[in-house]
Structure 1
Amino acid sequence: MPSQSDPMNPFEEAKALHNKGVDGDKKAVIQANELLFKLRATEPDDARIEAYYGSTLVLLGRDAVKILEKADKAEEGLDALNRAISLDANIKEIRFLRGNICLRLPESFFHCSKTAIEDFTFLLDRYKENSSYLTQQQVREVLQNLSIAYQNAGQPDQADLVLQRLNQMD
């Protein structure tokens, strides 16, 4: 695979399209998904490709009209994200992707707040080991998301503890 920083790298192109899709560009989601599908065939054990592919599936579900298609794409996307973690559990970018997706899916249907908690806790644990692992803005974002994930998981006391930690930062 070409260098990650190469702007002509198909993976970088797919990530850029993915990010446009996150911002609401439905055509970019389709393009990113198609590109990542092809990349996945040539690099089946690349955790980052698998993670972004999974994220595009969730985005396709977000944009789908039919309820069953929404659910099926989201489940398929979560499966790909979980596979990406199994390929390499230490990639920060993948933990952010999966955690944020799990945070935004309805808990009553997908039951993945525990996964979001796992990912956000992983990120904070690495930050404790190495203070350059996350920026201060990322730490705040992770703490806010972790608090919401605890709330969604029915653990308001844990959510409050995380919010106290966030307030101590300010």
Structure 2
Amino acid sequence: MTQLEEGRSYLLKSVDGDKKAVKRAHEIFSSLRGEAAGNALIEAYYGSTLALLGRDATKPIEKADFAQEGLDSLNKAISMDPNHKEIRLLRANVCLHLPDSFFQCSPIAIEDYSYLLQQYKKNPNYLSKQQLKEMHQELRNAFAQIEQSDQAKHVLQQLKELAVK
């Protein structure tokens, strides 16, 4: 297993609440980030681990600092490679799980999902049916967080239509 695959494996465990896995994923992506400076995907995974460290921190200031550092890394990764599907999915997921009352990043998640949907419209093989279903649920959550029910209905209708094709 490569370090990237190992890091991804720990990250998945981290998302499910494994605090030891968060630390291990962060170690792996920190190391990879040092070895492969300028790699957008590594930067995005590193940012995701920072956000998870924030989730698990006990002090409010640490939570906020880790989360902000994670967002900064994810934004940097997008600026390095704005068309990378996996990076867009990582950033959208992090943005949706941060408190919108503090970070106001639901619109960023909506932007990322909208971009991914545009790519899917051009190429129906771009996203799996499972990814499309998850985007449906996550977009609903994002629009609920910013209280835009009309826009949510419109986008969700588009997603349903795409899922049928």
TM-score, normalised with respect to structure 1: 0.90
> What secondary structure sits across from 2:96 in the alignment?
helix
Aligned twin of 2:31: 38
> Where do 5+ consecutive residues of structure 2 fail to align?
none
Aligned twin of 1:68: 61
Q: Which amino acid aligns with 2:6?
A: E
Aligned twin of 2:41: 48
Q: Does 1:113 find its partner at 2:113? A: no
Aligned twin of 1:92: 85
Q: Distance in 2 between matches of 1:141 and 1:31?
A: 27
Q: Distance in 2 between matches of 1:93 and 1:54?
A: 13
Aligned twin of 1:77: 70
TM-score, normalised with respect to structure 2: 0.93
> Where do 5+ consecutive residues of structure 1 fail to align?
1-6
Aligned twin of 1:3: none
Q: Does 1:16 find its partner at 2:9? A: yes
How many residues align? The count is 163
Q: Distance in 1 between matches of 2:136 and 2:113?
A: 8
User: What are the superposed Cα offsets for residues 42-81 of structure 1, whole Å, 9 maximum, x if unpaired?
Assistant: 1111111100100000000001111110111000000000
Q: Quote the offset at 1:166 in angstroms.
A: 4.2
Aligned twin of 2:20: 27
Q: 1:152 aligns with which of 145, 152, 159?
A: 145
- Kept in 2, the 8 Å contact 1:121–1:146? The answer is no
Give the fraction of aligned pairs with identical amino acids, expressed as a percent.
55
- Kept in 2, the 8 Å contact 1:144–1:166? The answer is no
Q: Distance in 1 between matches of 2:129 and 2:42?
A: 27
Q: 2:122 aligns with which of 129, 136, 146?
A: 129
Structure 1 stretches of at least 4 aligned residues deviating more than 6 Å after TM superposition: none
> What secondary structure sits across from 2:137 in the alignment?
helix
